[in-house]
């Protein structure tokens, strides 16, 4: 996977050289390039912001450096905007615009078949970032992240970029950061850990909270429950005996019960969306103060 990041604070991305993702980059599985937006400014002060039209507090990022940066990093525009599929992020990345017909003869050749590119613009007003979106992004060949600061980027930059690649404005949560850099680090970590070979044990992502589950999707839709390691006894606190029993069915049931309790307590919105439940599930949820109606039960 190729990842380009445009920012006015390139130093923010030092952590990409660390841990599992740093190792994957070291092996050449991920190619990160961090670009300083100011290198596309044309004035002596390297100005990237200006006052907002219409008044109001704060500053807005100027379109010119962003336009020049994206011209340099994104594939060239090859299709009129009205020929591009309008793909919301939950449907990405089926058809990259590079695969669309009618390429004018004066443009460079298409990239290899299947190569896809996507521009991701972090914004608190964007669509919520989810584990499912991370999984879909992990199948894109080339991601470009545009880190806003101040009150954000002049809206015409995003409009124009949409004429050449799919663009998603994405929020990492219902709060406001000072800049897109921490949001991009969060997204990159969650996307890149899903790439083949990045996690030591590929199954661990399926078992995670928000994971797709495995073994018949037993844990799909649930938060992960508590986990334990050695020693068996620590400060007079014991590991739950069932986990030491070697009884795989009992362990799986205990894990599901614990996951149900945690989901009911911390995320009732997720508990309410659970797939049809068996009678033990219903019992656990009721005990956790989350009554289950007959309609939610598997028959």
- Using CB under 6 A as the criterion, which residues of the chain lie in contact with ligand SAM when the complex forms? 122-125, 147-149, 151-152, 171-173, 175-180, 183
CB atoms within 10 A of CB 27: 10
CA distance 222 to 262: 8
Whose CA is closest to 160, among 66, 85, 96?
Answer: 66
φ, ψ for residue 83, nearest 5 deg? -90, -5
Q: In angstroms, give the least distance from the CB of 188 to ligand SAM.
A: 13
| DSSP conformation class of 153 | B
Nearer to ligand SAM, 63 or 213 (CB): 63
Q: In angstroms, give the least distance from the CB of 15 to ligand SAM.
A: 17
Q: In angstroms, give the least distance from the CB of 21 to ligand SAM.
A: 19
Nearer to ligand SAM, 25 or 123 (CB): 123
* Residues 171, 89 contacting (CB under 8 angstroms): no
Q: In angstroms, give the least distance from the CB of 191 to ligand SAM.
A: 14
Q: In angstroms, give the least distance from the CB of 68 to ligand SAM.
A: 19
Nearer to ligand SAM, 176 or 249 (CB): 176
Nearer to ligand SAM, 22 or 52 (CB): 52
Which tokens go with 161?
């970029």
Vertex 90 angle, CA 147 and 138, to 5°? 65
Q: In angstroms, give the least distance from the CB of 189 to ligand SAM.
A: 14
φ, ψ for residue 116, nearest 5 deg? -130, 150
CA distance 10 to 78: 30
Residue nearest to ligand SAM (CB): 148
Nearer to ligand SAM, 149 or 256 (CB): 149
Going by their DSSP bridges, the two strands 142-146 and 117-128 should be labelled as parallel
Nearer to ligand SAM, 124 or 213 (CB): 124
């Amino acid at each position: 996977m190729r990842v380009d990041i445009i920012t006015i604070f390139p130093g923010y991305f030092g952590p990409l050289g660390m841990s599992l993702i740093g190792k994957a980059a070291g092996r050449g599985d991920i190619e990160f390039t961090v670009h300083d937006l100011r290198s596309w400014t044309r004035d002596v002060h390297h100005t990237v912001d200006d006052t907002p039209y219409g008044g109001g507090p704060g500053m807005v990022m100027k379109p010119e450096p962003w336009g020049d940066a994206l011209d340099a990093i994104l594939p060239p525009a090859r299709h009129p905007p009205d020929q591009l599929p309008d793909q919301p992020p939950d449907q990405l990345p089926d058809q990259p615009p590079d695969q669309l017909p009618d390429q004018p003869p004066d443009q460079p050749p298409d990239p290899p078949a299947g190569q896809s590119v996507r521009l991701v613009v972090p914004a608190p007003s964007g669509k919520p970032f989810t584990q499912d979106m991370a999984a879909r992004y992990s199948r894109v060949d080339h991601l470009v992240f545009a880190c806003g600061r101040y009150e954000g980027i002049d809206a015409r930059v995003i409009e124009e970029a949409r004429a050449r690649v799919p663009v998603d404005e994405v929020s990492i949560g219902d709060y406001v950061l000072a800049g897109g850099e921490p949001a991009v680090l969060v997204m990159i970590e969650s996307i890149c850990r899903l790439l083949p070979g990045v996690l030591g044990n590929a199954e661990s992502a399926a078992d995670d909270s928000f994971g797709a589950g495995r073994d018949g999707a037993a844990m799909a839709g649930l938060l992960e429950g508590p986990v334990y390691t050695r020693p068996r006894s620590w400060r007079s606190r014991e590991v739950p005996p069932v986990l030491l029993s070697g009884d795989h069915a009992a362990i799986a049931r205990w894990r599901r019960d614990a996951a149900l309790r945690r989901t009911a307590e911390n995320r009732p919105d997720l508990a309410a969306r659970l797939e049809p439940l068996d009678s033990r599930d219903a019992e656990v949820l009721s005990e956790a103060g989350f009554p289950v109606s007959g309609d939610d039960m598997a028959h």
